[in-house]
Amino acid sequence: MTDPLLPAWSEPFANPGHALRRPLRVRGITREWAWGGATGSGVRVGIIDSGLENDHPDLHGRVVENVAVEIGADGPIVVADEPRDLVGHATACGAIIVGMAPDVELVSIRVLGGDLRGKGTAFAAGLDWAIENGIRVCNLSLSSKSEALFPVFHELVDDAYFRSVALTSAANNVPGPSYPSLFSSVFSVAAHAEPDPFRFYYNPAPPVEFGAWGVDVPIAWREGRHTVATGNSFAAPHVAGLVALILSKHPGLAPFEVKAILASVADNPGRRHPWRTRGAGRPASVEAGPESDEPREARQGTASG
């Protein structure tokens, strides 16, 4: 029964007890504490993108579901999808995550077409489906510039936050506002050029808060191939991999706690962190061979209004 003397939403805090008791309190944070020994086991990661090529060797059979968003007469609907990647972009992101957290489960949520573009409404519907289905981490290496969809994405990322769904969102590769990467509750990510998947920075002057490897990254591509590409798209899944490792080891953490952990153990510029991958999954072996005819510069996915 609600106490009429309390302000709205205050009742859970009136008599703190079992409901607010936490199995874990964050203190003495180190990388070893944060994810040492973790493999991503027990964490499901949604790749909202161009579809996953399930049998790509760099995905190691970790894809458990493939869906796609179709725009029908009554609006967007989510349907079962074939195990395919129309571009290669999603498979690249998924393989980066599996390389860091080899025991994650991947869910492919295809919202982009073969030109790496899609409708903003499809993007929003795919994100809504992921949140409703309890996917713990979502990688969003795409964005929308639509001002009309600003309130839609704002509501979705708030819903994700309150349901403890962590959203890693790549900042747009070109200047200008795009969403949801500029919302404060997401793990907004841009690229740095240091070739180390476990080297990342925290930016004390957001909106983009984290920097991860995104320049000349060896990546998986469609039809079992590999290439080398640059973009914030490939920085975001490095952070998603770290988030998956942390949640694998500490499954009760809320997104803001995971953010605080990442900020606490981020690298200091100019210093090599003595602890990189000990106790965690190492990156998958990826070779960019001359047989690849894909461009070195890969675009970020775009969802229009």
Reported as a single tens digit per residue, the pLDDT across 118-142 is 999 999 999 999 999 999 999 999 9
Residue 179 DSSP symbol: B
**Token pair listed for 81:** 């999808």
Query: Above pLDDT 90, what percent of the chain?
Result: 70
**pLDDT band with cut points at 50, 70 and 90 for residue 205:** confident
CB 169 within 8 A of CB 47: no
Residue 147, pLDDT score = 92
Query: Please, are residues 48 and 276 in contact by the beta-carbon 8 Å criterion?
Result: no
- Using pLDDT thresholds of 50, 70 and 90, give the confidence band for residue 204: confident
pLDDT digits (tens, 9 = 90+) for 173-200: 887 888 999 999 999 999 998 899 999 9
C-alpha to C-alpha distance for 12 and 19, rounded to whole angstroms: 8
pTM of the model: 0.85
Tokens (6 digits) for 296: 């070195």
pLDDT at residue 175, rounded to an integer: 79
Kindly indicate whether the domain formed by 38-267 is annotated with CATH number 3.40.50.200: yes
Mean pLDDT value of segment 49-62: 98
Range scoring the smallest mean pLDDT among 82-96, 113-127, 255-269: 255-269
- Contacts for 273-278 with beta carbons within 8 Å, 24 or more apart? 273/31, 273/198, 273/199, 275/30, 275/31, 275/32, 276/196, 276/198, 276/199, 277/197, 277/198, 278/32, 278/36
Is the Cβ–Cβ distance between 144 and 304 less than 8 Å? yes
Quickly count helices (H) and strands (E) in the chain.
6, 14
